Amino acid sequence: MDGNGRWAQRRGLPRVDGHRRGAKSVREVVRAAREVGLRALTLYAFSSQNWDRPPDEVATLMQLLRDYVIDERAEIMDNGIRLIAIGEVARLPDFVREPLETLAHDSASNRAMTLCLALSYGGRESIVEATRALCELAARGAIQAKDLTEARFSAALQTGGLPQLDLLIRTSGEERLSNFLLWEAAYAELYFTDTFWPDFGREHLLEALASFDGRERRFGLTREQIRSAG
């Protein structure tokens, strides 16, 4: 969800105003995703590297996150949405982490859609964490080197319980992954848009899904193999 700061600066506003407006886009996109029947939606809300931003901007982002978790609790529960978080959640301040963990616990049995918030998250960091956990299992003799497969490694990631990543959307004209879901994005379709996140809404999500729907996904096979398999 990129472009909040630039959206604000182009309007002569403080960067934090872009983040506030971006929070409204989060609400609209989550509702739209639920309505169209997406199984899971992951929002890259705060990266591991974002901690290095100016302290006042980080503080605003933390407050907005807390406000979202509290204000949207009723809608999340009423619509059967399961909330989870990936990343170094322990680094979040208590006033954010506590309501987040409470809502994650209370929504755990919801099945209509999974909303995953990537917080203090980094793709490289996630891969290192999973590797470390598997190495510890091997050191204890719980697994052997021959037991390590792609499926086993995927399951060790924090996203292990989520469906396969199909579509990755990046806003604001940037065309790079920026350390987001690096392992999971191996066969994802990429969609880049010049729209800044504060302007990204339901219609933009539908455009991205329409683009995805028109693509032929081959997963290493030939077009003829895909077509013959239906």
Q: Among all residues, which ones are annotated catalytic?
A: 2, 50
3 state SS for 81-127: EEEEEECCHHHCCHHHHHHHHHHHHHCCCCCCEEEEEEEEECHHHHH
b/e per residue 70-109 (b: at least 16 CB within 10 A): eebbeebeebebbbbbbbbbeebeeebbebbeebbeebee
Dmax (CA) of the chain = 59
- Nearest-CA neighbor of 182 among 161, 210, 153? 153
Enter the tokens of residue 92.
Answer: 């979040």
Tell me the C-alpha to C-alpha distance, in Å, between residue 188 and each of 64, 122, 218: 29, 17, 11
Enter the tokens of residue 115.
Answer: 């909303």
